Structure 1
Amino acid sequence: MTLGIDHSEPRRLRRKRTAWFVASGFFTSVFLLFVGGTTYALTAPGYAWGEGELPIEIIMIVVSALFALFAGLRGRRLGDQAADLEDELSPYETLWLPSDPEPVDAEVAAMTPRLRVYSHRAALLCGAWVVALTLGVSGFFLMELLGQRLLDEGARTVGTVVSVHDARRGTSTITVEYVERDDVRLAIVNRDSDRDYTPGQLVTVVYDPADPERVRTLSERNDNGFLTFGSYFLAIVACIGIPCSAVAAQNWRRRHQAVLGSGWHAGRAHISHYFRQVPRISVTYRDGSGIELKGSTSTHAPPAFGEVSDVPVWVGGESRSMVVLLPRGRIRDALHAVPVYADGPRRHLSTDGGAPVTE
């Protein structure tokens, strides 16, 4: 006998809502990236705009802002639709947990406010990703500033392209020979323009007399490879981390509110957790009912891989906002909170193997 109703439609709406919120966060990061870059270019003395660069920057700012706003509003609308549908279904359902409240010990009770701590941690991590994005963008600004300063203040001489390296992956380079104070020097210059070079071609070399290792040409800024990689890495990872952390903070806040309303309920669980697979937790409550749970995308996965049976657990929350408390393991005697969602309604189980009883 089914003790609940099928919440597949609200779950589907909430999944789509989360996807739209992640998209909104991504486009917000892109918006901030281009706003920062354009602001710097407009305020930096001596910055030379490329042909059509400013209109493209403005278009990217406007388009990313519109996409972020549209995705955010779309996600909010889907969330409201899911909540309204849940409200319509709630009079006809039995809760995802047994109705009788259960007393809990101090250790289990202490996990309820800890869920709020997880939300705060995710929010702080989101702030850290914002800082990482700022550092990544600052790296691009720094490379632009150093390259322009060398171009303005460096000594110039005529150099000869000795060899050309066109990389399939990574950075293409040219090797340039030039004379500095009667010394013949070779410099490897990273290419960031779309110019084609041939051995023997003459180029203008700009170098720092105090530091001859700092070399560029009129067309190639010769950015530091480590700084370039670090800037791109921070910017790309931060654009992913910001929306993911923001969603995680919101989800843990919602789980905390759900557990406050439901309390904790004891049961025994069979846990199936394998690499690159969504954890599955089958819980049997003390009243004989059971529920199938799936792990949400989170760093709070079950502490061990494989199949484990008859694990004492505590379950709280409802629908998409549920949490299972598992023993952490032999190394540390503590409870571990795993975010889950219900894969179907709670059911009465038969006494011979746990199959649902049909009527």
Structure 2
Amino acid sequence: MTRRTAWLVVVVAAVLVFLFFAAGTTYSLLAPDHVFADGELAGEAAILIGSAALAALGVHRRHALDRRLREDVPDFGAWLPGREGSHGEGRVDLAAQTVRLRRTARRATAIAAAWTLLFAGGLAAVIAADRATVALLATGVRGEGSVLSVENPARGTPAIWVRYHSPGASWTEEIARDSGQEYHAGEAVTVVYDPADPEHVRTTLEANPDRVLTGFGVMFLVTGFVVLPPAGTAALGWWRRARAVAATGWRIATVTVVPFVRRAREIEVSYRDGSGIVLRCVPSLHSIDALARRRAWIGGWGRQMVVLCPYGPEKPGPYLVPVRATGPRAQPISPVR
């Protein structure tokens, strides 16, 4: 378990590094005014390849540990009793629930894909805003403007208010500043505006990108950067649990949910043969409340197990909860004669 945790940390760190540099490198390649320094592109390519390889190695090593554990206990006896008496007793179609696990895995994969698109969309929005400022500088009309005021908020983007003229009209617009240039009221600046839309303006020094487009782009990038790794991990976990349950089938049991043991809920399982096992809930949208003893079905093995409850929170139908075993199944104690 310690080695699995260590490899999980490696995988998550490698994925985060890959996402960070993938976004930065893509932006640099597509930004029209970016010039790579000597060796910069090669260095970023090496980091991308190295982080991807390290993530793949971590996934492989975690799977290797699982395969070794599976080979040591080929009949799943460390986690599940025999198949006798494991039917649904007319209440739950267990075969349908096994199929449903695959549907859950497909939905989790679709969610991860949506977060990937959101991350890519955020990057595209930032690049589009940057391209628009470069295009305006190349094609816009230049004129003289005057700084009316300078804003340096404690939070938010520093800006200047500038008055300038187009044929037949006078305009006052706020221009975000990120060049490091210091301004003062009354200072003359050269503005560049779109003659078809004079409110679309920048200066020769301040790009003044579209704040809405840039804001949404940055928000999508940050959110995707944070959420994409756990979403991908959840999708992979559901696929592994679907395969594990397809191999083991389900076992009927009585379960008791113990709230928040070591920051997670634990489920105490009692099988009909008198043996038992303790399962720990993994982070998931499929959570389970602390309830009294009730009937459920258990499937999978090791860290790839599922609890199937006859009903879920505010749901009339069977409810799937992803869990992992904290240790092997405890065998019943034979009476002393």
Task: Please give the secondary structure, in 1, of the residue aligned with 2:279.
Answer: strand
- Residue among 289, 310, 328 paired with 2:311: 328
Q: Is the 8 A contact 1:315 1:325 kept in 2?
A: yes
Per-residue CA deviation, residues 68-115 of structure 1 (Å, 9 max, x unaligned), is: 212322442343245335534x37994211124322345222111111
Inter-partner Cα distance in structure 2 for 1:80 and 1:275: 28
Inter-partner Cα distance in structure 1 for 2:194 and 2:313: 61
1:40 aligns with 2:23: no
1:326 is displaced (CA, Å) by: 1.6
Equivalent runs, 1:12-23 vs 2, <5 Å? 12-23=2-13
Per-residue CA deviation, residues 231-261 of structure 1 (Å, 9 max, x unaligned), is: 1111222233333233222211211121122
Task: Please give the secondary structure, in 2, of the residue aligned with 1:63.
Answer: helix
1:292 aligns with 2:278: yes
Relative to structure 1, is the Cα distance of residues 116 and 48 closer, same or farther in structure 2, using a 3 angstrom cutoff?
same
Per-residue CA deviation, residues 22-45 of structure 1 (Å, 9 max, x unaligned), is: 33333333343244324324xxxx
Tell me the equivalent position of 1:65. 49
Q: Which has the higher contact order (CA 8 A, sep 6+)?
A: 1
Query: Percent of aligned positions with the same letter in both sequences?
Result: 31
Inter-partner Cα distance in structure 2 for 1:148 and 1:260: 56
1:77 aligns with 2:96: no
Inter-partner Cα distance in structure 2 for 1:323 and 1:93: 14
Tell me the equivalent position of 1:99. 82
Relative to structure 1, is the Cα distance of residues 48 and 35 closer, same or farther in structure 2, using a 3 angstrom cutoff?
closer
Equivalent runs, 1:85-124 vs 2, <5 Å? 87-88=71-72, 90=73, 94-101=77-84, 102-104=86-88, 105=90, 107-124=93-110
1:171 is displaced (CA, Å) by: 1.5
Q: TM-score of the superposition, structure 2-length normalised?
A: 0.87
Q: Is the 8 A contact 2:142 2:193 kept in 1?
A: yes
Q: Is the 8 A contact 1:163 1:176 kept in 2?
A: yes
Q: TM-score of the superposition, structure 1-length normalised?
A: 0.82
- Which residue identity lines up with residue 25 of structure 1 in the other structure? V
Tell me the equivalent position of 2:228. 242
- Which residue identity lines up with residue 103 of structure 1 in the other structure? H
Task: Please give the secondary structure, in 1, of the residue aligned with 2:93.
Answer: helix
Equivalent runs, 1:145-164 vs 2, <5 Å? 145-164=131-150
Inter-partner Cα distance in structure 1 for 2:198 and 2:311: 58
- Which residue identity lines up with residue 312 of structure 1 in the other structure? R
Inter-partner Cα distance in structure 1 for 2:295 and 2:48: 48
Q: Is the 8 A contact 1:296 1:339 kept in 2?
A: yes
Tell me the equivalent position of 1:231. 217
Q: Extract unaligned runs of 5+ from structure 1.
A: 1-10, 42-46, 352-356
Relative to structure 1, is the Cα distance of residues 175 and 237 closer, same or farther in structure 2, using a 3 angstrom cutoff?
same
Task: Please give the secondary structure, in 2, of the residue aligned with 1:103.
Answer: coil
